[in-house]
Structure 1
Amino acid sequence: MAQMIPAPTAAVFDALSTDIADRLRELRRLILATAQENPDVGPLEETLKWGEPAYLTSASRSGTTIRINAYRKSDTRYALFVHCQTDLVDRYKQLYGEILTFEGRRAIIFDVAEPLPREAVKHCIAMALTYHQRVAS
């Protein structure tokens, strides 16, 4: 079942090119589905941070914030961002360096011309949503 997009998130998507907005909606669905599949994550809070759609594990505090948006205002590239002071992107690179593109310690970069590598991205999302559980253990 599709979850209603909150007005602030919808406004961000509506301001972007159709291709980017469609891909961000797909990424949003994957984030929400990944959270729902993991009982330790609990419900996500969907809000805006720095004007970008953000997904927080406010209830469980199990993970770090995930943000999604067009990449540097591009009409063809978009990104999934995590907190740069985590080791997540380094871990993503170790696991998926051959199939994903990264920026520094904060982002996975995608192109609308390429299919979303769903399983790899889903695993990266799950790692972010449970980041604090791993750090605490």
Structure 2
Amino acid sequence: MEQPLNPSDPPFASPEVADAFAEFPEAVRGPLLRLRALIFEVAEATPGVGALEEGLKWGQPSYATAETGAGSPVRLGCPKSGGGFGIYVHCATRIIPDFEALYPDFRFDGTRGVVFEEGDEPSPDALGMLIASALTYHLRKKHNGG
């Protein structure tokens, strides 16, 4: 069973999640595990998020704010067409369009996600903003009267 890269990262929530990471192509497994660690770091550092629930959604590792309901789930996976890897959110939200307005140089998969080529090392600062935005989506929407 695949383990997180850093022993201080949370253990996988289930063998199925571990297996999903083990099934990713070797070239993108490391970057996806680093994104997983970043999701947990951002969740811990962001007020109102609470504990994350790690599971599978559409066969992809998914991170939800089940404890608080504060946000929209974040998923990790590979694009349907071509290689690489990506971080995905619910496509009916403003999360990706708002992020794209701030970071237009990233590569986007419509309103679903941000995708990367094999060998890319995404900016943790920029992606931390994206993750925090997703994990607090419902809080912000409620606060803004939506």
State yes or no: 1:80 paired with 2:74.
Answer: no
1:1-137 superposed matches below 5 A: 1-6=8-13, 7-72=15-80, 74=82, 76-98=83-105, 100-137=106-143
The aligned counterpart of 2:4 is: none
The Cα offsets for residues 93-136 of structure 1, whole Å up to 9 and x where unpaired, read as 101112x1111111100122222111000100000000001100
**Higher normalized strand content (fraction of residues):** 1
Residue range with higher mean Cα deviation, 16-25 or 45-54? 16-25
Taking every aligned residue pair, what percent have the same amino acid on both sides?
31
Aligned structure 1 segments of 4 or more residues deviating by more than 6 angstroms: none
The Cα offsets for residues 32-59 of structure 1, whole Å up to 9 and x where unpaired, read as 1100111310000000011110000001
The unaligned stretches of length 5 or more in structure 2 are: 1-7
TM-score (norm 1): 0.93
1:68 is paired with a residue whose SS is strand
**Distance across 2 between alignment mates of 1:68 and 1:25:** 9
The Cα offsets for residues 57-108 of structure 1, whole Å up to 9 and x where unpaired, read as 001111001110122275x41011100110111101101112x111111110
2:49 is paired with a residue whose SS is coil
1:80 is paired with a residue whose SS is strand
TM-score (norm 2): 0.88
Structure 2 contact 43–135 (Cα < 8 Å) conserved? yes
Residue range with higher mean Cα deviation, 1-10 or 22-31? 1-10
Number of residue pairs the alignment of both structures matches = 135
